[in-house]
Amino acid sequence: MKRNILLFTLIVILLTSTTGCWNRRELNDLAIVAALGIDKQDDKFLVSVQVVDPSEVAANKGRSGSSPVTIYHGTGDTLFEAIRKMTTITSRKLYFAHLRMLIIGDEYAKQGIADALDFFSRDPEIRTDFYVVVARGATASDVLGILTPMEKIPASKMFSSLEVSEKAWAPTASIHVDEFITDIVSVGKEAALTGILVDGDVETGKKRKNLEEPDTPTNLKYTGIAVFNSDKLIGWLNENESKGYSNITNELYSTIIEVPCPSGGVLGVEVIRSKTNLKGEVKAGKPEINISMRTEANVGEVGCKINFSQIEEISALEKEVEKVIITNMMQTIRKGKKMGSDIFGFGSVIHQADPRYWAKVKDNWYELFPELPVKIKVDVRIRRTGTVGDSFINQVKE
C-alpha cells in the first residue's frame, strides 16, 4: 500500500513539472514573416523580410490606408547575422514558422546560393513547406515590396498563384526548399526553379495606389524556368520549353495546347491527365533514354471547320497534339544539353538502370550528356469534344 502511494505521489510530481509549453511564445511578441528575399550587396547578404500586420488583415476590419505588410532589410556576412540585425529596427522578434515564399535575387543566384541554404535546413523553427523562386531580372527586395490585389498578403498571392498555375497551365514548377537542396547536391540531376517577374514599374507597385485601379499598374507574374548547374543559375527556359520540362519530369497536371486546323484556324485542347515514364538503357557501352508519355485531353475551343463525328478527324487531331508535345520536349532537351545542365534527371535514370556503368561515368557525365540519345513516344487520346458536336463555325454563311 505504501509502495502504491509513493508511486502515485511521484507521478503527480512529474506531471506538475512537465505541464505547459517550455518554448511557448506570445503572439504579441512575434513578427510573423510570410516571405523572405535574399540578395547580395558588396559581398554581404542583403536579407528582406515581409512581415504581416495582423491589424490590417483582420477579417472584419475596414481599410485604414496602411499597408497590410511591412518590409524590413538587414545586411550581414551570414544570413543568420543579417536576420538578427533586424531586431534593431523591428519591435518584435522575427518568427519564420509560417514562411510561405523564399525569393532568390537574379544576380545572387548567378553567383551560387548554397551558402544561404544551410540556414533553412538547420534552423528547427523553420518548416520546409515553403516554395523557392527566382526573381527574374530583379532583386528579391523589389519583388517583396510589390503590393498585390485579391490577396492582402503578397506572399499568400505568390504561394497560391504558383500552385494554381502549375496545376492549370504547366510552365511553372512549385519546388519546396528541401527538394531544391536535394537537387543541387544530387549526382545525375540538376535543380530548376520557377522565375517571378515584376510586370510594370517597381516603384509604382510598392505604393498603395497600385491596388486602387481596376487595371493594376504593376503585377507579379510567374514566367519561365530557371536552370541551375550545381547551385548557380545559368539560364532560362521559355514558355514552350518550360512546358516541355513539365512533360518530361511528370509534373504536367493540366494545360492548354493549341494546334493548327487542316482548313486553317486554331483548335484548343485541354490536357486533363498525363503520365510520363523515363527509362534508361545502356547498349554496347552507350547510354540512352526512352520517354513514354500517355495523355488524355478534351477539346476546349474550336476556331475552325472540323467534323468530330468522323473518327479520322479525331485521330488526326490526336496526332497533331502529339507533335506539339514532342516538339516542346525535344526543344527543352536541346536547351538543357546546350547549357550543360541535366535538369531532367537523366543521369539518375541511367544510374538506376545500370549502377555499375554509372559508377564509371558519373564523374564525366556532362561529357556524355550532350550526345545522349533520347527517344520520345507520346500517346494522346481525345476523350470529350464538349457539350456540342460540330462547331457552329461549320454553319457560318460564306
The answer to whether 38 and 115 have CB atoms below 8 angstroms apart is no
Most confident of 50-54, 203-207, 330-334: 330-334
- Give the SS3 label for residue 74: strand
Residue 113 within a domain: yes
**Which is more confidently placed, 30 or 161?**
161
Domain contains 283: yes
What helix, strand, coil percent values describe the chain, rounded to 5?
Answer: 40, 30, 30
User: pLDDT over 70 for what percent of the chain?
Assistant: 87
Grid coordinates standing for 297? 485531353
Residue 116 counted as domain residue: yes
Provide the 8-state DSSP code for 176.
Answer: B
Are residue 212 and residue 78 in the same domain, yes or no? yes
> Which pLDDT band, with edges at 50, 70 and 90, does 309 fall under?
confident
Residues 220 and 253 in one domain: no
Q: Are residues 153 and 244 in the same domain?
A: no
Same domain, 364 and 382: yes
pLDDT on residue 22: 47
Show the domain range for 95: 28-54+63-237
* Boundary-marking domain end, from 237, 270, 297: 237
The residue out of 214, 237, 260 marking a domain boundary is 237
Residue 253 lies in a domain: yes
In a domain, 49, yes or no: yes
Is the pLDDT reported for residue 245 higher than 90?
A: yes
Per the model's pLDDT, the better-predicted residue between 17 and 312 turns out to be: 312
Tens digits of per-residue pLDDT, 43-70?
Answer: 999 999 999 987 666 555 555 567 889 9
Between helix 239-248 and helix 311-339 the angle, nearest 10°, is: 100
Which pLDDT tens digit goes with each residue over 139-172? Answer: 999 999 999 988 889 999 999 999 999 999 989 9
Residues 195, 38, 36, CA angle at the centre, nearest 5°?
85
Do the beta carbons of residue 297 and residue 270 sit within 8 Å? yes
pLDDT at 174 over 60: yes
Query: Regarding predicted confidence, which is higher, 180 or 59?
Result: 180
Average pLDDT of span 200-216:
91
pLDDT at 308: 83
Q: What is the pLDDT of residue 175?
A: 96
Tell me, yes or no, whether 81 and 104 share the same domain. yes
| Residues 227 and 370 placed together within one structural domain of the fold | no
Q: What's the CATH code of the domain at 384?
A: 3.30.300.210
Q: Which residue has the higher pLDDT, 149 or 14?
A: 149
Residue 289 pLDDT exceeds 80: yes
Q: Return the C-alpha torsion angle 325, 327, 330, 331, nearest 10.
A: -120
Other Cβ atoms within 10 Å of 70 Cβ, number: 14
With a cut of 50, say whether residue 105 has pLDDT above it: yes
The model's pTM is 0.89
Distance of CA 149 to the CA centre of its chain: 21
19 pLDDT above the threshold of 70? no
Q: Is residue 5 part of a domain?
A: no
Residue 253 sits in the same domain as residue 230? no
One domain, residues 217 and 347:
no
Give the pLDDT band of residue 334 (cuts 50, 70, 90): very high
Looking at the fold, whether 298 and 369 belong to one and the same domain comes out as yes
Task: Quote the pLDDT of residue 220.
Answer: 96
Statement to judge: residues 225 and 309 lie in one domain:
no
Q: What is the pLDDT, as a whole number, of residue 190?
A: 97
pLDDT at 125 over 90: no
Q: What average pLDDT is seen over the chain?
A: 89
Position 138 scores a pLDDT of: 95
Domain count, the chain: 2
In angstroms, the CA 246 to CA 268 distance is 19
Residues 335-359: what's their mean pLDDT? 97
Q: What percent of the chain clears pLDDT 90, i.e. is strictly above it?
A: 71
Q: Is residue 2 part of a domain?
A: no
Last residue within a domain, chosen from 237, 257, 288:
237
Cα 352 from Cα 302, distance rounded (Å): 44
Question: Rounded mean pLDDT of 208-229?
Answer: 93
- Residue 195 placed within a domain: yes
Same domain, 86 and 191: yes
Q: What is the mean pLDDT of residues 11-18?
A: 60
In this structure, the answer to whether residues 92 and 77 fall within a common structural domain is: yes
